[in-house]
């Protein structure tokens, strides 16, 4: 395991977590995470961060406001 492997895995981590990387890249990163504890911790952290951010954003926007935005967008569409 070299630093280059970690660098490559972390560089594509966001895309990987978004599920938007290709199948071959997903295989490479998955294989790397299986063998590299530091990168697993990094991936876990990023994953949790996303959950926290998603929860915060949802709490910050009142339901009636979200509804109004959706209605506005739908009418314009």
| Footprint of Zn ion (CB under 5 A) | 6, 36, 39
Residue placing its CB nearer to Zn ion in the complex, 3 or 18:
3
Residue 67 CB, shortest distance to Zn ion, in Å, is 44
Q: In whole angstroms, how close is the CB of 60 to Zn ion at the nearest point?
A: 34
* C-alpha closest to that of 46 among 21, 1, 11: 11
| Distance set, CA 11 to CA 38, 48, 60 (Å) | 14, 18, 30
- Residue 10: both structure tokens together: 């972390």
Of residues 14 and 72, the one with the C-beta less far from Zn ion: 14
């Amino acid at each position: 395991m070299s630093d280059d492997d970690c660098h490559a895995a972390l560089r594509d981590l966001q895309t990987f977590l978004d599920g938007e990387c290709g199948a071959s890249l997903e295989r490479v990163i998955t294989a790397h995470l299986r063998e590299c504890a530091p990168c697993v911790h990094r991936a876990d952290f990023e994953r949790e961060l996303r959950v926290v951010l998603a929860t915060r954003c949802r709490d910050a926007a009142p339901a009636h406001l979200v509804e109004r935005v959706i209605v506005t967008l739908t009418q314009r569409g």
